[in-house]
Chains A and B, each alone.
Chain A
Amino acid sequence: MASQPHSLSYVGCNFLRQRLVLSTLSGRPVKIRKIRAKEENPGLRDFEASFIRLIDKVTNGSRIEINQTGTTLYYQPGLLYGGVLEHDCSPHRSIGYYLESLLCLAPFMKHPLKIVLRGVTNDQVDPSVDVLKATALPLLKKFGIDGEGFELKITRRGMPPKGGGEVTFACPVRKVLQPIQSTDPGKIKRIRGTAYSVRVSPQIANRIVDSARSILNKFIPDIYIYTDHMKGTSSGKSPGFGLSLVAETTNGTFLGAELASNPQGQGTAVLPEELGLNCAKLLLEEIYRGGCVDSTNQSLVLLLMTLGQQDVSKVLLGPLSPYTIEFLRHLRSFFQIMFKIETKPSHEELQGGEKVLMTCVGIGFSNLSKTIK
């Protein structure tokens, strides 16, 4: 009999998504122990269970075993299947939480994925759908994942705590990915953004825009922030507002930042002006960090580089986020891939902080699910 590939074992619920995603892509089973074992409320949370259910939906033949208390999870991956699906995400985390993993998996399905996700579209914890749409999608396009069937549509907005948003994500399948060489982020040529407000006064969006512009105008004149006021059924179940900003460079790099209001009934009320200012500053921070990929998508780009052909891929990043660092470690244990990490100290020129140049040779991954005729 074929020897089962030795499984990997981890402790704790952190980086659950990474582990499951990488396990699915590499075909190695994973075992996660001691999930919140010492907490008052042990085991997997709702949103994690929902995530596992989502993984189960998009794959075929995966085996998931969870013990009685939910503190141990064994996942033996199947093959990615895809197709037309629907999923109700837990309102504890936003859709971004689920979408980030789907972005990693979607290009390698058997059938093109077309999924409707329902839940919270924007919250304060996870990258919102707006930002992912503006930054992650162009990133995937660089790897050759492109075409008509590649879109992320926000049909309804839902704010925490009740959610009620709806997002459609469709992605074509690819057999192989192209290697990328993006070492020059280019210069920021324009800033775009969306100020959204649901179930509050439509004026709030305008107030956000004004305050954000007041800061950004000092750097560049080409700014346009759309105001998006959703009404009726498309406005979800809870009130809220927020702003997402994206800076686009001459070389097609997208850097995003966002901020959302406090959920209803939690924390103090946030002034729209303040939110606009803070969000603009966050964008400036992101620009200071720089790189060809913004901090939320670092792990995505590294994954896609790893899954490329056996060619050298290079990307310039800002400082590595803790999430990315852990992701790199996971990449090594799942794919035996190590990145060459070179720090590029910032020059005398005024271009923000230190950059990191990541280089790797792809593992020559090919989509094993896709059918040939």
Chain B
Amino acid sequence: MEEKDRKKHRKKHSGPKADKKRKRHLNDLGLGDDEDARKRNPKAFAVQSAVRMARTFHRTQDLKTKKHHIPVVDRTPLEPPPVVVVVVGPPKVGKSTLIKCLIRNFTRQKLIEIRGPVTIVSGKRRRLTIIECGCDINTMIDLAKIADLVLMLIDASFGFEMETFEFLNICQVHGFPKIMGVLTHLDSFKNNKQLKKTKKRLKHRFWTEVYPGAKLFYLSGMVHGEYQKQEIHNLGRFISVMKFRPLTWQTSHPYVLADRMEDLTNPEDVRVNPKCDRKVSIYGYLRGAYLKNQSQIHMPGVGDFTVSDVSFLPDPCALPEQQKKRSLNEKDKLIYAPLSGVGGVVYDKDAVYIDLGGSHAHQDEEEEVRPNRELVQSLISTHSTIDVKMASSKVSLFMDSKPLGSEDVENQEFVMPKEEKQIDLKTGRVRRKAVFEEENDNGASGEEEGQDEEMSEDEMDGSEDGDGDDEGESDKEVPGQDLGLRSAKRVKREETTEEAGMELPAFADSDDDLEMSSGEEGETDLDESKEEVEDHGDEEESDEKESSDKQRENHNLDHRLGKKVVPTTDSGNCTAEEASDSEAEGSSLEEEEEEGLNDDSEAEESDRKGIQSAPEKNVDGVEWAESKVVEDEDGGDDIENLLKEEEEYGEENDLSADTAGALKWKEDLTQKAAEAFLRQHQSAPNLRKLVYGTVAEDADEEDDAHEELGGLFHVSRPDKESKQKANALDCSKFPVETPQDWDLDEVMNSIRDCFVTGKWEADKDAAKLLKEDEELYGDFEDLETGAVHKGKPAGSEGEEEDKEGKEPKAEEEKNKRMDKKRKLKAMFDAEYDEGDATYFDDLKEEMQKQAQLNRAEFEDQDDESRVQYEGFRPGMYVRIEIENIPCEFVLNFDPHYPIILGGLGNSEGNVGYVQLRLKKHRWYKKILKTRDPIIFSLGWRRFQTIPMYYIEDHNGRHRLLKYSPQHMHCGATFWGPITPQGTGFLAIQSVSGTTPDFRIAATGVVLDLDKSITVVKKLKLTGFPFKIYKNTSFIKGMFNSPLEVAKFEGAAIRTVSGIRGQIKKALRKPEGAFRATFEDKLLMSDIVFMRTWYPVSIPAFYNPVTSLLKPAGEKDTWTGMKTTGQLRHELGIRLKQNKDSLYKPIVREKKHFNKLHIPKALQKALPFKNKPKNHEKKAKPTKDQWRPAVIREPHEKKISALLTALGTVHSYKIKKAKLNHRQHLKDYLKRKHKEEEEKFKRQKEAKKKLFRIMGQKEKKRQKSSLKGSREREK
């Protein structure tokens, strides 16, 4: 027993000792210390067979090329969007806990409840958007399409669940993202062995589903309701270094996973009709491909929409600035999750939010309404005019502060919110509850917050997170302003605009104030702005005053901003569209004024700085503000005020311009110079303007929309028709307007260099290149003769230059030398490296080059112009406005369900017939029936449609199938959205409810898109003969009119018995009867039929699954069209079966065949073999032939019995003797064989002996003979 337990000795295979041993062993073998067999014994590795060598070579090459993928251009942006990490798993498996732990691991923050995506900075170059995927199949489908990484949680104590497999199958169809399994609930195993076994089993199953070797993580147990820190840390490390491969669908379509949603609908419209279509803005990181403005998008679960506006915003969760440190600063560990209520300050296009609450603020519960959001809230949900709203709206500046009303601002008094400490009964923590006076009068005294991290959910709504607040505060503190709310950055920009455009931004602001505030306030503001304008007039005189004014202005500005919080001034993020709009409007509306402004601002600019920077831009900004004002149609009466003010403003402006011109005549000079400079610079934009700028908007209906603004303004645009000659000749030729005189020498010379005979560029001129090469290779030493040949020294002329020119000369020389070196290196490379570059390498390099070009082309441009050319690039944080969204989307908004905006390519918004290759899933228990509605997930979409299954016959015909085949691919056609070929899809019968069975019914791929279909089904027309001639018959009952017959003349027909024939011609008398010929005579009982193919029409039924529009909590109950089977089941209608279709026992009548009768004459003629052999019946045996039975006497009986007995005994004896004899023989043979063997052995021995002796003798003889020969030699 003990011996068995002892461990076996294991030999060492590595280490110095093992090496020594090996060496000794080799030495023993006499091989020396050359370990490499190839070197030691080269012969053994020489080429044995050329054929085999070729084969092995081919094989290695095959294996090598098999690994290649078609190289694609790397289109990942420089600053990629956050990686989407989807956490999937069945319920109660620990998804939320894992997310919380991960967030805590990366950001040191603890979120209480997670709703929607959470974006965090996980490393210097990586951000993560973590989102939880519920078990609703709609969510699973949507998230599988956008996931970069899937964390698949598996309850180890339970094993795999259907959800896991369903999700894996969804992933397989829509492009396979990286999948990492995470086993949880491992602490429930008490037995270590069982745990090990389970781990192994689950791992192998996981590997078969994903790929062998897929990473599976084990989370062993919980500590205080969280996973173990080290394990989560490791998981985080894995996530943050993971590499992703691009997926086709994702890289070719832009998409946004929304992390915020706002309702922008005009509250008046909502008041009038609460069910009106909404205008919504959605925020999120753009991923995938470039997004263009005005492009089509699809929101899974909602429908198709056109983007009405896109703009990009500063990144709310930006990657840290480049730093040398390896790890992140604590400050850079940002987290952004507006739907969960984390985020800090948010800059919008038209507002600044300091709120942490998500955009789900529109939920109807009153207690959900947070004071922070109240301003926006009130703007949205109340049903009164804007003035009243503004007066009553409140906002709190700091968290936990009492919201400010408009009247509060005057008093400048703060009422701190009361806090209430509550001790959580469960955890014993001290919790603080912010109580506001409106809600609750019994609040305690104010107190600054300490540990906001541990706020409960309801508190989160009311106040913001501690960390976020700290950041916000640092931003908010504008010097000298206790009320300043904007970030420093924002203020700075304001300043710059003011420097440039002086009075303009203030004006814009004042407008907004006017518009938004009550009448009383409006007046004060108006005064203010007037003051400002005057101030600017003064400013031009002294710089000191200017600065002070500016400061004051800032004060004013900020003051007002403080009051309003929602400034609607320029945010700098105006989109391309708007910019062009404003340009266009500017040109048409108030060109003169603009010019005046322009001059003025330019003059100031040049005076102050001496450098003309960008007056254009300023003006644009101003105009934009103006147009914005004009566009605002909310307050009709306010606009009048506005208009008045605008006029005044204009006057002021002119005045100031005049004075400026009068006072500083010198300015004109610089200005002119600047203008000239500008003109020169703007030649390119001019062409751009010519093409894109001055043209009115592309679509006319848009023009119509802008035609009247607020019923007051009429936009007059330059008449399009007059410009473009709408009805001119359509010709692509570009005729020469002013032909040059090509006989003149100067003119001819102008294109001299376009020809090969002309002068070449320096780097291509053959003569020059030759010369350079000479310089390069000039120096060489002739080894044979020893003579040194020297090339012309390259910089010989340079040395003669005087000393001032020496330094640049040296520089030049250096460059030249570098050039030379580079050239030499390139040559060397070309000679040695490029030799074995394969086609694949070339292709890869080409792609690389393209990728580089893509990156470099627009790199140097600012984002605004870049966006115009490329569209919004992935990685940007964008705000997308969408109109005409069903109100249910807003009303039933649930942040737990992901909102995805998937961009659609060209004509992907259209519908048509789509042909698929489809296979029923092997785990789905039923088969699919043609014309049963089914839900497809294809592209971004989920929709219900009615497919028709078909199979392709050998001649290419698409034959309709009633049911999908069991284990085979078949075709399917449906009417639905056009999606590019090669896109994968899956089908499910229903998205509502849960079933224990596997839900994915079929998978496949799109093959073809068309506007018509070619599916046919078989149609047999039958007829009956009513008159039969020899081979001709008249058939009736197949057609109804001679016309129909005429259409089918010449068609092949057949009888059931297999006689083939052809339709000839219609008969006159019975309508639809015809004459037909057959290869044989028919019987009257024959049925004639014709096989035809009838094209099937597909019902144009396309019904998007609008699961997101369902009320909260019912989002997984979407049901569309029901199948007839379902309806029948529900309504209890039994199917009436056709009696003929029922199976009955087959009763076959016994067939009687008549006797074969051969005529006598024929019988005679037949050969004997075939003649019927009519044998005469044999007569009965006669009496003499018939033998009677013998009956024995008793005595005779006895005798015969004895004889039989004797016979038996005898036969037994003989048998025994035979057996004995056989045994003997066997023994004898055995013995003999043995003896024989022995004898043989002996003989062999003897022979051996003999031969040995003989051999020795022979040897001796030989030796002696050798000796003899040697002796003979001697």
Point out the residues of chain B lying under 8 angstroms from A188, CB to CB: 754-756
State whether B691 touches A14 (Cβ < 8 A): no
- Chain B residues numbered 834-877 whose CB sits less than 8 Å from any CB in chain A: 850, 853-854, 857-858, 868-871
Closest A residue to B690 by CB, please name it: A325
* Other A-B pairs, 17, CB within 8 Å; known A125-B733, A335-B292: A8-B698, A12-B721, A27-B908, A27-B910, A34-B726, A61-B1011, A219-B755, A290-B754, A296-B732, A321-B733, A329-B692, A336-B295, A352-B750, A352-B754, A361-B869, A363-B905, A371-B1008
Q: CA of A14 to CA of B722 in the docked complex: distance in angstroms?
A: 13
22 A-B pairs with CB atoms under 8 Å apart are: A2-B910, A9-B700, A14-B727, A17-B730, A34-B727, A61-B1010, A79-B1011, A181-B853, A187-B758, A218-B748, A219-B748, A219-B752, A221-B757, A296-B734, A312-B853, A336-B294, A338-B869, A352-B750, A361-B870, A366-B905, A370-B981, A371-B1007
Binds B, one of A160-168, A199-207, A265-273, A342-350: A342-350
Q: B474 in the interface, Cβ–Cβ < 8 Å?
A: no
- A245-288: CB near B (< 8 Å → 1, else 0) gives 00000100000000000000000000000000000111011011
Q: A26 in the interface, Cβ–Cβ < 8 Å?
A: yes
Shortest CB-to-CB span from B758 to chain A, Å, is 7
Q: A356 in the interface, Cβ–Cβ < 8 Å?
A: yes
Q: B530 in the interface, Cβ–Cβ < 8 Å?
A: no
Q: CA of A295 to CA of B737 in the docked complex: distance in angstroms?
A: 14
Q: Which of A35, A359, A364 lies in contact with B727, CB distance below 8 A? A: A35
Query: How many chain A residues touch the partner (CB < 8 A)?
Result: 106
Closest B residue to A34 by CB, please name it: B726
State whether A219 touches B757 (Cβ < 8 A): yes
- B899-936: CB near A (< 8 Å → 1, else 0) gives 00000011111111000000000000000000000000
Q: CA of A348 to CA of B1150 in the docked complex: distance in angstroms?
A: 110
Q: CA of A349 to CA of B75 in the docked complex: distance in angstroms?
A: 38
User: Are A349 and B981 CB-contacts (below 8 A) given A187-B758, A343-B684?
Assistant: no
Closest B residue to A340 by CB, please name it: B869
Point out the residues of chain B lying under 8 angstroms from A284, CB to CB: 742, 748, 751
State whether A295 touches B733 (Cβ < 8 A): yes
User: Are A2 and B909 CB-contacts (below 8 A) given A14-B728, A296-B734, A338-B869?
Assistant: yes
Point out the residues of chain B lying under 8 angstroms from A218, CB to CB: 748
State whether B734 touches A321 (Cβ < 8 A): yes
State whether B981 touches A368 (Cβ < 8 A): yes
Q: CA of A176 to CA of B1261 in the docked complex: distance in angstroms?
A: 91
Q: B749 in the interface, Cβ–Cβ < 8 Å?
A: yes
State whether A79 touches B731 (Cβ < 8 A): no
User: Are A14 and B725 CB-contacts (below 8 A) given A27-B906, A343-B683?
Assistant: yes
State whether A13 touches B730 (Cβ < 8 A): yes
Point out the residues of chain B lying under 8 angstroms from A125, CB to CB: 729, 731, 733
Q: CA of A2 to CA of B942 in the docked complex: distance in angstroms?
A: 12
Q: B466 in the interface, Cβ–Cβ < 8 Å?
A: no
Task: Mark A residues whose CB is within 8 Å of B.
Answer: 1-6, 8-17, 25-28, 34-36, 39, 60-62, 77-79, 97, 100, 110, 125-127, 179, 181, 187-189, 215, 218-221, 250, 280-282, 284-285, 287-290, 295-296, 298-299, 309-312, 314, 319-326, 328-330, 332-333, 335-343, 345, 349-352, 356, 359-361, 363-366, 368-373
Closest A residue to B699 by CB, please name it: A8
Point out the residues of chain B lying under 8 angstroms from A250, CB to CB: 756
Q: CA of A113 to CA of B684 in the docked complex: distance in angstroms?
A: 40
State whether A11 touches B687 (Cβ < 8 A): no
Q: Which of A78, A110, A321, A363 lies in contact with B906, CB distance below 8 A? A: A363
Q: CA of A67 to CA of B1007 in the docked complex: distance in angstroms?
A: 37
Shortest CB-to-CB span from B376 to chain A, Å, is 29
- Chain B residues numbered 1009-1057 whose CB sits less than 8 Å from any CB in chain A: 1009-1012
Shortest CB-to-CB span from B589 to chain A, Å, is 22
Point out the residues of chain B lying under 8 angstroms from A181, CB to CB: 853
Point out the residues of chain A lying under 8 angstroms from B756, CB to CB: 187-189, 220, 250
Closest B residue to A281 by CB, please name it: B742
State whether A361 touches B854 (Cβ < 8 A): yes
Shortest CB-to-CB span from A70 to chain B, Å, is 13
Point out the residues of chain A lying under 8 angstroms from B853, CB to CB: 181, 311-312
State whether A329 touches B296 (Cβ < 8 A): no
Q: Which of B683, B692, B727, B1007 lies in contact with A373, CB distance below 8 A? A: B1007
State whether A369 touches B1009 (Cβ < 8 A): yes
Point out the residues of chain B lying under 8 angstroms from A78, CB to CB: 1011
Q: Which of B749, B760, B1010 lies in contact with A79, CB distance below 8 A? A: B1010
Point out the residues of chain B lying under 8 angstroms from A110, CB to CB: 1010
Q: CA of A77 to CA of B732 in the docked complex: distance in angstroms?
A: 23
- B707-748: CB near A (< 8 Å → 1, else 0) gives 000000000000011001111111111101001101000001
Closest A residue to B293 by CB, please name it: A336
State whether B981 touches A179 (Cβ < 8 A): no
User: Are A351 and B721 CB-contacts (below 8 A) given A10-B700, A14-B730, A363-B906?
Assistant: no
Q: CA of A287 to CA of B749 in the docked complex: distance in angstroms?
A: 12
State whether A285 touches B739 (Cβ < 8 A): yes
User: Are A372 and B1007 CB-contacts (below 8 A) given A9-B700, A333-B698?
Assistant: yes
- B672-693: CB near A (< 8 Å → 1, else 0) gives 0000000000011001101110
State whether B907 touches A26 (Cβ < 8 A): yes
Point out the residues of chain B lying under 8 angstroms from A373, CB to CB: 1007
Q: B214 in the interface, Cβ–Cβ < 8 Å?
A: no
Q: CA of A221 to CA of B756 in the docked complex: distance in angstroms?
A: 10
Q: B977 in the interface, Cβ–Cβ < 8 Å?
A: yes
State whether B724 touches A349 (Cβ < 8 A): no
Q: B303 in the interface, Cβ–Cβ < 8 Å?
A: yes
User: Are A338 and B868 CB-contacts (below 8 A) given A11-B700, A352-B750, A371-B1007?
Assistant: yes
